[in-house]
Structures are given as C-alpha cells and as structure tokens.
Chains A and B, each alone.
Chain A
Amino acid sequence: IAGITQAPTSQILAAGRRMTLRCTQDMRHNAMYWYRQDLGLGLRLIHYSNTAGTTGKGEVPDGYSVSRANTDDFPLTLASAVPSQTSVYFCASSDSTSPTDTQYFGPGTRLTVL
C-alpha cells in the first residue's frame, strides 16, 4: 500500500441496508477524515479522528458512524442507508503535527442508494 486506499470503488445499495466504507493509510498520519462530495457543493466533513481511539463529528454526521481502533484504519458505516446519502465519499489523512497539516485524499467511493 502506498498512501491511502478506499474500498469499494463503487457500490449500489438498497435503501435500509447497512454499509461500511473502508479506508486505510500507511503514512502513519495521526488524523483522518471522511468527506462527502455532491455536485455543486464543496466537500463536507462527516466525521474526523485526531488520533487513534478518538473521533469527532463534522458538518454532516447524521446517519453515519466511524471508529478508529488503530492508526491506519478509519471505517465509515451507514447504519440504514437512505437515497440522500448517494454521493462520492472521500477519506483523507494528515499529520496534524506538521506546520501545514496538509490533507491527502484516497481515490473515493461512489455510493448510490436506491
């Protein structure tokens, strides 16, 4: 693994189903983030984690949950998917101890909820 990976690449999901989006980074970054990107809108933060064992809510957390059991992995779970959760989901990570705290993004997961 080089950088940050996400799985699956894309998914079509029936409404009401549970779904976990996976995110793994090998850069030993302490901070990780989940965003959704919708047409005409900026990236919106769903949840974040500043370090393993801690998580926080972003701008649009409702309907989503996350966990951070270790440094590398940061899964995002939709407990009961709804059509408004159709979006492209990006995971990102950063070294928040660095002066610039630049975020690096995974390739994204395109999710369609029917």
Chain B
Amino acid sequence: GQNIDQPTEMTATEGAIVQINCTYQTSGFNGLFWYQQHAGEAPTFLSYNVLDGLEEKGRFSSFLSRSKGYSYLLLKELQMKDSASYLCAIMDSNYQLIWGAGTKLIIKP
C-alpha cells in the first residue's frame, strides 16, 4: 500500500530552527513536494525534490533520500507567520500526488 507519515504537531520558538520529517512508501516515485497551508487557506507550494540531497530556498530547505524513503523540511529563523501546517506529498508512478496528513507547526514567542 501507499503510506506517508509526518508528525501530527510540532512546537518551536520564534527565531529557532525546526525540522519536519516525512517518511513514505509509495508505488513509484516521481518527486516529493512540500506545501504550506495556513489555517482556513489553500496549500501553497514550497519545494520540490526529485534527486537525493538538499534544496535550499531562503529560510526553507528540503532534503530527500530516496533509498531511505525519507525527506525533511528545515525552517530557519522561525517567524510567527510560519505557524501553519506543512504537507508532504509524493508523486507516484501514475503522476498523481499522494498526500500526508500534514504537520501542524506552532510557533511560540
């Protein structure tokens, strides 16, 4: 079967660094996506990984290890506006996105 696991909730402090993990087992792999979703809003695209390694984009970085079925999203210099859910999604062999349930990140002052 297909499975994507993320922690349900995490808490971090403003200005700190947080790492959100995602592990997956899917039928095929054509890329991994991270989206941000603020409460009551639509998901918005953050990052895409298809090759192993780290992709850096400003305060956000995303890492992928295909052999381990593992990714993480790293958020640096946390700001209050980073309080949101972070969704991990895998593009499977049919080029459809399979979504994790999301990690709710709470930022405290």
Contact = CB atoms under 8 A, between A and B. Distances in A.
Interface of A is mostly: loop
B5 to A, nearest CB: 11
Nearest to B43: A105
Interface residues of B, number: 21
Interface residues of A, number: 19
Contacts of A107: 41-42
B95 A42 contact: no
A48 interface: yes
Nearest to A50: B95
A7 B91 CA distance: 28
B4 A42 contact: yes
Interface of A: 40-45, 48, 58, 90, 96, 100-108
